[in-house]
Structure 1
Amino acid sequence: MANHLELLTELQQLDKVPSLERLRAAQKRRTQQLKRWAVYEKEMQNKKRKADKRRGHGNLLENRRRVSFAASIALLEASARNDPDEVRYLLKNNLSPDLCNEDGLTALHQCCIDNYEDMVRILLAHGATVNAQDNELWTPLHAAATCGHTGLVKILIQHGADLLAVNSDGNMPYDLCEDDPTLDIIETAMANRGITQEMINETRAAVEKRMLGDIQNLLQDGADVNQHDSQGATLLHITAANGYAQAAEMLLEGGARTDMRDSDGWTPLHAAACWGQVHVAELLVSHGANLNAKTYMEETPIDLCEDEEFRNHLLELKHKHDIIMKSQLKHKTSLCRRTSSAGSRGKVVRRASLSDRHNLCRKEYQTEAIVWRGGREKEERERESEQENSHSTQPDDAPQVPGILKDGSQQNGCISSTPAPPASNGDPVTPDPCDPDPAPSAEELKPKERAQTLSELKKQRAAAKLLALPVLNGHLGNGSTKPSPEDPRMPLVSSNGSAVYFTPASGDPPLLRLKQPIEDEDPKNDSCCCIS
């Protein structure tokens, strides 16, 4: 038997040879190990016999403890030792030839691995199931085809072995066969049975179709698709490991989570990457699976991927995902918007800088001023022309009424506190000391053009509303009337008794200029209803 260093050297050499030669070398070493164990067992039995003779045979039977094994272990052990007599003896004692160990491995599986043709015939003759499956759905034909045992493949095919049996990896026996003579035998048998490519594809998809039906029933019943099994795996883990893209898509649409972990901390993306399921991995990433997720052993899906091409593809997906996440983050920061606090739907308030808000306010003021003034330009021109005609036809002794400009300034420079009515004796009217020119020209009557602000416009609007209130010679009352439109020169009296004149040529009504009441004035001289 070779020592440990020789075995290590042999392992390094076997890495460079095909799998078939590695299997043969392993079988050779296993045979040597069994022989060495048989020699060791005989030596131990001889030592026990000598010890029994010394202590006496009677005492030995009383003190010896009997050890018994299960029937499955005995059958598997006899098959592994290639002992046909013991196998026949066990099978004659009503032992089932399909007994298996905890991995689901039967005696027929073990004989196909070890290439024991006589033992395979004995087991098949006693009713062993030719298509028995272990925990990974491997049949004896899978084992014989993988190991390249041509004789065993022929025997199994003669006894009706399933050529389209699919294991848990989705592989059939001819998929696993690397030995050309053995592969020719399998393909010839498939042709003789009339197996076509369509049948192969349907057989491969049969398991996924059954799973699709089960998932659909679960979704209709409202069951939880994220439920864990004994190993912590979910349905999405199983579909990802087996590469069932349609089943995985149905689960994702039904609410399956991509971040669920099994007992080892694996996500469905870890399972897809480990087993090289490219399409399922792309589907999981498109539904938000994290490529940076780590297992309890600090392994990412990329670390578990053994295929170099698939690894590069996952790296590309990770790079694209990082770019998309960065662009979305940048887009969110640039789109600064919030919903109105008043609860109005569909309104968006965009934030702006201080300079932008200042420019926007100035633009609004200018727009409102233009609207306020633009509509009256034509009317002011008509009023000016009418004013010129009235001055040209008016006699020289007619009283001149000063006008008030739109912006609050008097046409002639000041506001008359009291009007100058014409004398009863026909004397000329005494001119106002503030008005050096009793007959102003049309140019003087024209309102001055200057920039107006929004505050001034608001004040003028408020003044127009105040002047629209009913007044009568400085006295307010319930039965007062507005100035007659037939006499636009009629003075409007304010609350403090001062007269304010308004003419059509003066534009909008001005602001009232109120005077503070005189404290020394005797209230007896005025009427009782004076408001001054």
Structure 2
Amino acid sequence: MVLEWSSGSKEDYVVSDWTPVHEAAIHGRLLSLRNLISQGWPVNLITADRVSPLHEACLGGHPSCANILLKHGAQVNGVTTDWHTPLFNACVSGSQDCVNLLLQHGASPYPASDLASPIHEAAKRGHVACVETLVAHGGDVDHNIGHLGTPLYLACENQQVACAKKLLESGASVNQGRGLDSPLHAVARASCGDLALLLMDFGADTQAKNAEGKRPSELVPPESPLTQLFLQREGPPSLLQLCRLRIRKCFRTRQHHKINGLVLPEELKQFLLHM
């Protein structure tokens, strides 16, 4: 094993090969990790790729190991050479407990680089609880990355219905996708009826044209039942739908839960909340 002290921007850390601390962290061996720390092993050991034990604990989805590392001073926003933060790794594993823990210890919900965005990763993989926690801590539901698009677009592209619904309920723009390609374009290609209905209920523009000048309905695979759905939704939305969308628009991102506080019949609240 090679150890070399280096000076970081905030505090010293140690560059090393793969160590027993990394091994214990990624496999969730809490007792071994405690013993290693008590023996004097630094918690901010990083490999040549700048991977720390905290990165590994979160990638393995082990909040107990992450917690002990953080309590002993692990850098919560450390970045690997691939721009992965511990929070990004927690979203890869889908560990809401790790996501919560990191945010409570000061992790930034915003990506260190567009090459590794936590909320995009959670949306793509269908980790609804992680998306919800990130949004609750200020994550941008409409963060648009050139090569990925918005979190909603990624959720739709990967047919993650529950994540798409959570993003829309949190105020994500239903028509922002990747360039001119809207989430509904992505859903049309995949021929996913549940997602198409969801997007339309939240006001998706069925007439939007992508860079090729095509509307979503023109991208539906031949003989797909989705074709009939688009035919049924042709024309202007109903007055009922327009009213719902207008009222929801009055509530900004992450504020739609306040609809529950309105002095309205319960059924009307559920209608406004898409429940």
Under TM normalisation by the shorter chain, which class is it?
Answer: 0.3 to 0.5
Q: What TM-score do you get using the length of structure 1 for normalisation?
A: 0.23
More contact order relative to length (CA 8 Å, sep ≥ 6): 2
